[in-house]
């Protein structure tokens, strides 16, 4: 009998060519399908994700599903896969769902976090999970004003990369936030769905606002008029993480379905204070 299994997974996307299978490239989907096939080889394996993350993008709360026919109990799938998957991919939980449940189409929202390291000097331990912007101290108030204007149902064609097969560029942004904690700036965006490349293009424009290279008025004009040709800066992928996918019903246990991507707090470097401490 065919069973449908849903997984909540996390992965470091640094060494992968994104989620979706690509010939001659290492992808998250291909790696997971290969390991599932070792455990349940009776039928071709296809793993469907709630969101197709780009090359280099991370996930701490990605949700996927696949169908299987083998005898492996549901409570054994997590350990069985984690014992085979590389260290950069981890399964947090596996549950059986109805055969008509769909990781992508059943989702009510996806939530992404983008992390920016706004310190003056490089940080080795943050370089794979944040965008280092060091030349200008970002103006969070300006960025917040620009971000809040995105709430609601809008056409976000200005933030869609070429190559999308979506019939339109409409989506509903449900929640937005941006904050600073020392040298770390964190933006979170929750929407019913995201266009191809949407968050990275949006963050590129938002950082330009924070650096005062782009006015809020011009920012709004570009996306409201769908001026994709004017949106030329995309934030790098390594600062982006899919942190949560929400459904109408409870699928996974609460503690495992919530965000597990770490939030960092780094104080601003105060050279005068450090010098004084060293002299005392």
Q: Is 155 a catalytic residue?
A: no
Nearest to 101 by CA among 243, 248, 242, 244: 248
Contact 62, 32 (CB under 8 A): no
Is-contact 135 122, C-beta < 8 A? no
Of 248, 255, 218, 217, the C-alpha closest to 233 is 218
Q: Which of 12, 40, 54, 183 is catalytic?
A: 54
Whole-angstrom distance, CA of residue 83 vs CA of residue 90:
9
Strands (E), the chain: 3-11, 48-49, 58-68, 89-97, 107-117, 131-132, 152-155, 170-181, 184-191, 240-247
Q: Which residues are catalytic?
A: 54
């Amino acid at each position: 009998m065919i069973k449908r299994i849903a997984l909540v997974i996390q992965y470091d996307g640094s060494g992968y060519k994104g989620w979706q299978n690509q010939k001659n490239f290492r992808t998250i989907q291909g790696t997971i399908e290969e390991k599932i096939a070792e455990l349940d080889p009776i039928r071709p394996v296809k793993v469907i994700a709630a969101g197709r993350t780009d090359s280099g993008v991370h996930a701490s709360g990605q949700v996927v599903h696949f169908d299987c026919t083998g005898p492996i109990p549901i409570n054994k799938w997590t350990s069985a896969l984690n014992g085979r998957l590389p260290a950069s991919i981890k399964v947090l939980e596996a549950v059986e769902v109805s055969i008509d449940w769909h990781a992508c189409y059943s989702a009510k929202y996806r939530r992404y976090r983008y992390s920016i390291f706004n310190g003056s000097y490089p940080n080795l331990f943050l370089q794979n999970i944040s965008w280092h912007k060091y030349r200008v101290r970002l103006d969070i108030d300006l960025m917040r004003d620009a971000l809040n204007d995105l709430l609601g149902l809008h056409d976000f064609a200005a933030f869609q990369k070429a190559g999308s097969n979506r019939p339109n560029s409409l989506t509903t942004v449900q929640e937005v936030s941006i904050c600073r904690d020392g040298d770390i700036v964190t933006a979170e965006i929750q929407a019913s769905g995201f266009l191809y490349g949407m968050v990275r293009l949006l963050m590129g424009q938002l950082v330009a606002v924070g650096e005062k290279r782009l006015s809020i008025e011009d920012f709004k004009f570009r996306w409201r008029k769908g001026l994709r040709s004017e949106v030329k800066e995309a934030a790098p992928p390594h600062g982006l993480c899919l942190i949560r996918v929400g459904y109408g019903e409870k699928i996974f246990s609460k503690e495992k379905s919530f965000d597990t991507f770490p939030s960092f707090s780094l104080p601003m470097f105060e050279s005068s204070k450090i010098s004084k401490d060293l002299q005392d």
